[in-house]
Amino acid sequence: MENTQANKTVLVTGGTGFLGIHIILQLLHQDFNVKTTLRSLSKKDVIIKALQQGGIEDFSNLSFYEANLTEDKNWDEAVKNCDYVLHVASPFPAKDPKDENELIIPARDGALRLLKVSRDAGVKRVVLTSSFAAVGYSINNENHIFTEEDWTDSNVELPAYIKSKTIAEQSAWEFIEKQGHGLELSVINPVGIFGPVIGGITSASLDVAVSGILKGNLEYTPTFTMGVVDVRDVADIHIKAMLHPQANGERFIATSEGVMSFYDVAELFKKERPQYTSAIKILEPIGREFYKEISNNKARTILHWNPRSREEALLASADSLNENF
C-alpha cells in the first residue's frame, strides 16, 4: 500500500472505548501516527491486545497519554504535533446517573478543553463524536425525516446522556464560532453503534441491546425504535470527515438504512443465529412507537460514505460476543 499518511499524526481520545479502539485500528492500518488518551495507563495492555486481535503487529506508530476530560493535566502533551484530533471520549453509561452533571460536565468541558488545546497547538481539524441524541429527541417522529438540520432542545427535561451530548455539541460549535480562530470542526452524529467487539471492549449499546437480548436479561421490550450503524463504518466516517475539505463546519448523521425495535432485533437473532438464542424471552411489544426515519444522505453524498446494513452490524456483534457466553 502507498504510504501516504506516514507524516500525519492523529490524537484519538478515549482509546479504551468500543468506538475509540476501532478508530485507532483503522488509522494504524492506514499508516497514520496515532496518539491516544486513556484515563489510566494501566489499561494500555487492553488496547494493545485488542489491536493485535485486529491485525496490528507493529506498535511504533502508537503512543499513550493519561488524561481525564475533567482535568487540564497532560492534554497539551497529547495534542502536541497533531494534525488532527478525533474527540471520541465521553461518558456513556448504561443507566443515567442521579446527577446529570456527572455526564454533562465531562462531555461539555471535555469538548471545550480539547478544542482549546487543539487551537493553541495549531491542529488543523477536530472531529467531535456527538450523537443522534443531539439531533432527534425534541421533534415528533411522525412523518418527519430526521436530518442534520434537526436539533434536540437541551432546555427541556431529558435523560442525562441525551442532554450531555446535545450540550457538548452546541458548546463546541459556539466555541468554534467565537474563539476558534481558524480551527476546523466536523461533527459525527451516530445512532446506536453495533458491529464486532475486539479485545473484549464493549459499550453500553452492546451491553443493553445485544447481550441484554441474547441473555434474556431485559425485563420488558422497550417500545422505541433505534437507528443502527456498524462501528467499522463509524470509524470510517470519522476518518473521512477528518480528511474531506467539505466536511469542515458540517455535522453528519451516521446511520445504516432503516430503524429497528428491540423486538425486531430479537427476531433477527432468532432467525439468523438460532444457536445463540435459547435464552431470549422477548415478547411482542405492548405498543410500538412510530418507526422514525433518519437520513444518511448527507454523509453518502459529501463523504461518499457507504455503510453496511443494520442486520450485518447486529449479527457481527452477536457473533463476536458469543464466545463470551
Catalytic residue numbers read 165
Angle at 195 between CA 282 and CA 185, to 5 degrees: 120
CB of 25 to ligand NAP, least distance (A): 13
Kindly give the pairing relationship between strand 259-261 and strand 225-230: antiparallel
Q: Which helix (H) or strand (E) holds 13?
A: strand 9-13
On whether the CB atoms of residues 113 and 152 are closer than 8 A, the answer is: no
Taking the C-alpha atoms of residue 226 and residue 174, their distance in angstroms, rounded to an integer, is 29
CB of 212 to ligand NAP, least distance (A): 13
Q: Which is nearer to ligand NAP, 69 or 176 (CB)?
A: 69
Q: Which parts of this chain interact with ligand NAP (CB under 6 A)?
A: 14, 16-20, 39, 68-70, 88-92, 106, 129, 131, 165, 190, 192-193, 203, 205
CB of 77 to ligand NAP, least distance (A): 15
Residue from 130, 206, 185 nearest 163 by CA: 130
Q: Which is nearer to ligand NAP, 181 or 230 (CB)?
A: 230
Q: Which is nearer to ligand NAP, 226 or 303 (CB)?
A: 226
CB of 115 to ligand NAP, least distance (A): 15
Closest residue to ligand NAP, judged by C-beta, is: 17
Taking the C-alpha atoms of residue 51 and residue 266, their distance in angstroms, rounded to an integer, is 30
Angle at 240 between CA 236 and CA 241, to 5 degrees: 115
**Three-class DSSP category at 254:** strand
Taking the C-alpha atoms of residue 244 and residue 231, their distance in angstroms, rounded to an integer, is 20
CB of 78 to ligand NAP, least distance (A): 11
Taking the C-alpha atoms of residue 137 and residue 30, their distance in angstroms, rounded to an integer, is 36
